[in-house]
Amino acid sequence: MTAIQDSIYLKNIKNLEDFMVKNIDVVIEKIDNEFKINESNLNNKINKIHDFPKIIDNNYIIKADLSGFKKEQIIIKLTDNILTIKCFDKKSNENGKYAISYSFLKSYNIPVNFNKKEIRGSLKNNVLKVIIPIIA
């Protein structure tokens, strides 16, 4: 870039920064409208219920709020004694120019002997519940 191009570029950046500072509410509203996301939808993506694992009736129980994710976006994986819950969602506007993504990732170390073949889970009201039977 030449010195003149640098100057024009820096001026454009400064103008953009000034616009965004003065009009941050307008910028946020435009972004929200672009993705058709309102505050309540965004808040649904933020995990509100996240219980620490509990032992109840000889079962290790894990709960996670996965609001905003579809069942097919949830991946549960057990490797050795580590249970991992992973979710991912990506949305684009109509022309595909902009995208926004959400993800959830949590791993749990299962510190007890458990029956791998009898692990079960359910998804009810956006809350994932995983039940891991403990071997006594």
10-residue mean pLDDT profile of the chain (136 residues): values are 65 67 68 56 49 81 87 90 89 73 85 86 91 88
Q: What is the structure's pLDDT at 74?
A: 92
Are 126 and 99 members of one domain? yes
* Torsion-angle region of 57 (φ positive above 0: left; ψ -120 to 50: alpha; else: beta): left
Q: What is the pLDDT of residue 46?
A: 46
| Same domain? 87 vs 29 | no
Q: What is the pTM of this model?
A: 0.58
Q: Are residues 55 and 120 in the same domain?
A: yes
CA-CA distances (angstroms) from residue 113 to 47, 101, 130, 134? 29, 36, 16, 6
Domain match, 62 and 99 both: yes
Tokens of 82: 């580590």
Sequence letter at residue 63: K
Q: Residue type for 110, please?
A: I
Shared-domain flag, residues 64 and 86: yes
Domain contains 41: no
- Residue-number span of the structural domain to which 70 is assigned: 46-133
